[in-house]
Amino acid sequence: MSVFPATAAAKAKGRGTTAAGSRPRPRKNQRAAYLFIAPLGIGFAVFYFWPLLQTFAFSFTEFGAFGGHTFIGGDNYARVIKDVTVWQALGNTLIYSAIGLTALPIAIVVASLLNRRGLRGVALYRALYFVPFVTLPVAVGLVWNWLYNGDYGLLNEVLGRLGVDRNHWVSDPSTAVYAIGAVMVWSTTGYYLIIFMAGIKGIPRDYHEAAELDGAGALRRFFTITLPLLSPTLFFASIICMINSLQTFDLIYIMMAEKNPAIGDTQSIVGLFYKWAFIENAQGAAAALAFLLMLLIAALTFLQFRLQKRWVHYG
Amino acid sequence: MAETSGTQAPPAPRRRVDAGSVATHAVLSLGALVMVFPFLWQLLTALKTLAETSRVPPTFLPDRWNWSSFEEVFTALPFREMLTNSAINTVGRTLGQLVFCSLAAYAFARMRFRGRDVLFALFLSVLMVPSSLLVLPQYDIIQRLGLLNSTPALFLPGMFSAFGTFMLRQFFLALPKELEEAARIDGAGSFRIFRSVMLPLIRPALAALAVITAMWSWNDLLWPLVVNTDPREMPISAGLTSLEGQYETNYPVMMAGSLIASLPMLLVYVFLQRHFVQSVALSGSKS
């Protein structure tokens, strides 16, 4: 009873400025901080950290016909490494990544064109280029399958006028990977465009103006000013691009019907993972494959960070 | 006024700039056409009859504007349920991320407590993990909770995001300390300060996180495909794929379906474009 008015008075009068009054606060504050973090922490523990440990455990087991997992050591990893379809999927995935990276130079060129002094309609162009990225990938896949259609597709019609032979683009094993890769570039260019536009905005106009006074043409300025100063952004974008394209799945799943003869020539690692895990019930091997994919992503990211010093300029 | 503007913009290079901008516009418009034309073709195809789409050479405009494919989509699939599932999934994930990420981001940015940096690094590590690595056990968990083929299954794991936490934390870090101190002196508790002082200040960041999360949720395919196999419980992203099997060569119906399925997110984009652009620019400039 006697304590209460005292603290109330201290609060009202002293406004907690004395050292003694604020002393107990940090601990209370700490408890509050943990409460702030708790919901996310619990979610992460249940849906991310625990599953991660479990996948690791799965990768050393075999899923029995009557349920339950039996420990089989490194057999799953051996199976993954020996399996020809894995190597084929790895090859396809690397091709997708290589094609996917071409979105970066396209986006840089468009971004620097949009940076032209006094150009009108910049916002409209940006909006239009970004539309494919926002669109449902399933819808994108269906539309492009129709454009690529061998019998009635518009692409054959247009290319035919230019003298190119008709082709079944997505069911011909020699073109399918590239046809899908082109759609990946088409749908991600707008995303990188916005990233590069933000990066180019950070380059002071004075640099360009000074170079222009010295007689440097647009092309020269692009290579000596824009590109070097944009290299940190380009570095970041290439890492994002690589990480995403190594995990590519959606478009391929949609564009390749089950009986498509080119299915093996287009399957990505995540596509193969999905097949093993949820269709063929080979969860152990699928888990091992997922772990190897993560190692691959980590290794390539590490490599990019190492190579960074050679070409990225931090001004 | 006239004098100063005259010194700012020398009239000499005017003519050259104009010729250059015509060329620039030509290149940019051609690119824009490549980006947008497939959608126009999608619409035109949806309005043609099946017979008309298998004509060689193809017609550009439909002979007669035929809307029946749009009706057919709704009978071919439980389309209405699928759209509803997509909407619930999108709202669930977005709200979840806004609440959970902003709470944690605030604590990481503005509060001091033991283990803060270690915990933050641990949370960030979630960013590095490919989703394929998590999907199998996540499926197990959903199954054990008895939630397979249910709407909550669609959005539960997606409510928690390391990216969102990281992004909002950057914004909380940039706020001035004085505001918090003033509120504290007025006797406000931590949650009050968070809710009524700090949170309103990062509204642009919340909007940016909301639109990008909504987009990922609406478009997500792998997780719904795994967890909800009953067509009535599927979101539209997964549902459309079964249209492909059913209507193998009926492109008008497929185009009509894919058009309706992508329309809601396109509308969100048209109205909230600014936030989309900001969220992407942010994800690019930070880190």
Q: Are residues B155 and B22 in the same domain?
A: no
Percent of chain A with pLDDT over 70: 90
Amino acid making up residue A187: S
Q: Would the pLDDT of A211 be above 70?
A: yes
Lowest mean pLDDT among A63-77, A119-133, B129-143, B228-242: A63-77
Contact B221 A32 (CB under 8 A): no
Same domain? For B207 and B246 the reply is yes
* A247/B132 touch (CB, cutoff 8 Å), yes or no: yes
pLDDT tens per residue across span B137-188: 999 999 999 999 999 999 999 999 999 999 999 899 989 888 888 888 888 8
**Which residues in chain A touch residue B221, judged by CB atoms under 8 angstroms apart?**
137-138, 249-250, 253-254
Q: Which pLDDT does position A154 carry in this prediction?
A: 94
Interface residue of B133, B172, B246 to substitute, partner A, most A CBs within 10 Å: B133
- Average pLDDT (A175-200) is 95
The pLDDT score that the predictor gives to residue B128 is 80
B113 located within any domain: yes
pLDDT in tens, B198-214: 999 999 999 999 999 99
- Can you give the pLDDT at residue B227? 95
What token pair was written down for B286? 């930070």
**Are B138 and B224 contained in the same domain?**
yes
Does the global pTM surpass 0.90?
Answer: no
* Segment A147-157 mean pLDDT: 93
Q: How many residues does chain B have?
A: 287
Q: What is the pLDDT of residue A315?
A: 62
Considering the domain boundaries, does residue B127 fall inside one?
yes
CATH code of B260's domain: 1.10.3720.10
Q: Is B53 on the interface with A (CB under 8 A)?
A: yes
B121 lies in which domain range? 71-285
Q: How far is B269 from chain A (nearest CA, A)?
A: 7
Last residue of a domain, one of B21, B36, B67: B67
pLDDT class of A25 with cuts at 50, 70, 90:
low
Return the domain boundaries, chain A. 20-58, 75-311
pLDDT at A144 over 90: yes
The answer, yes or no, to whether residue B8 has pLDDT greater than 50, is no
Q: Contact at 8 Å (CB) between A133 and B39?
A: no
Distance CA B28, CA A213 (A): 27
Within this chain, do residues B59 and B181 fall inside the same structural domain, yes or no? no
pLDDT for residue A63 is more than 80: no
Express each pLDDT in A266-309 by its tens digit: 999 999 999 999 999 888 999 999 999 999 999 999 999 898 88
Mean local confidence (pLDDT), A223-238:
91
Q: How far is CA A77 from CA A283, B131, B190, in A?
A: 12, 19, 50
Our CA-based measurement puts residue B150 at a distance from the nearest CA of chain A, in whole angstroms, of 17
Q: Tell me which amino acid residue B125 is.
A: S
Kindly report the CATH class assigned to A75-311: mainly alpha
Q: What is the mean pLDDT of residues A73-91?
A: 93
Q: Do B58 and A152 touch (CB under 8 A)?
A: yes
How large is the average pLDDT for residues A243-258? Answer: 91
List the 135-194 stretch of B: residues with Cβ below 8 A of A. 135-141, 156-157, 159-160, 162, 165, 184-185, 187, 189-191, 194
Answer yes or no: do B81 and B50 share one domain.
Answer: no
The yes-or-no verdict on residue B223 having pLDDT over 70 is yes
The DSSP element (H or E) to which A61 belongs, if any, is strand A61-63
- Which of B33, B48, B67 is a domain's end point? B67
Residue A70 has φ and ψ, to the nearest 5°, of: -110, 140
Domain assignment present for residue B91? The answer is: yes
B98 and B30, same domain (yes or no): no
Find chain B residues with C-beta within 8 A of A144's C-beta: 38
B49 phi-psi bin (left φ>0, alpha ψ -120 to 50, beta other): beta
State the pLDDT confidence band at B20, using cuts at 50, 70 and 90.
confident
Q: How far is CA B157 from CA A71, A244, B147, B152, in A?
A: 28, 20, 12, 9
Mean pLDDT calculated for residue range A201-230: 89
Tokens (6 digits) for A205 = 């106009």
Q: Is residue B206 part of a domain?
A: yes
Write down the pLDDT at residue B126. Answer: 86
Q: Across the A/B interface, how many CB contacts are shorter than 8 Å?
A: 275
A12, pLDDT greater than 80:
no
What is the overall mean pLDDT for chain A?
A: 87
Predicted confidence at residue A41, as pLDDT, reads 96
Q: Does residue B253 lie in a domain region?
A: yes
Position A311 confidence tier, pLDDT thresholds 50, 70, 90: confident
Instruction: Note whether A186 contacts B34, CB cutoff 8 Å.
Output: yes
**Tell me, what's the pLDDT at A258?**
81
Residue B6 belongs to some domain of the structure: no
The Cα angle at residue A200 between residues A199 and A204, in degrees rounded to 5: 115
- Please give the ipTM for the structure prediction: 0.88
Q: Using pLDDT thresholds of 50, 70 and 90, give the confidence band for residue B83.
A: very high
Tell me, yes or no, whether B275 lies in a domain: yes
Pair B105, B163 in one domain: yes
Please give the mean pLDDT across all residues of chain B. Answer: 88
B275/B165 same-domain check = yes
* pLDDT above 70 coverage of chain B, percent: 92
Alpha helix segments (H runs only) across chain B: 2-8, 14-46, 50-53, 68-76, 79-110, 116-125, 132-144, 151-155, 162-173, 177-185, 190-192, 199-201, 203-219, 222-227, 236-246, 251-271, 273-285
Q: Are residues B130 and B253 in the same domain?
A: yes
Q: Residue A21: its pLDDT value, please? A: 41
| pLDDT for A314 | 78
Asked if B208 and B238 sit in the same domain, the reply is: yes
B142 and B272 both lie in a single domain: yes
Query: Average pLDDT, stretch A13-29?
Result: 49
For the residues B128-134, what does the mean pLDDT come to? 86
Residue A129 contacts residue B35 (beta carbons within 8 Å):
yes
Nearest to A37 among B107, B138, B190 (CB): B107
Total domains present in chain B = 2
Mean pLDDT of A145-165: 92
Looking at the fold, whether B27 and B107 belong to one and the same domain comes out as no
Report if residue B2 sits inside a domain.
no
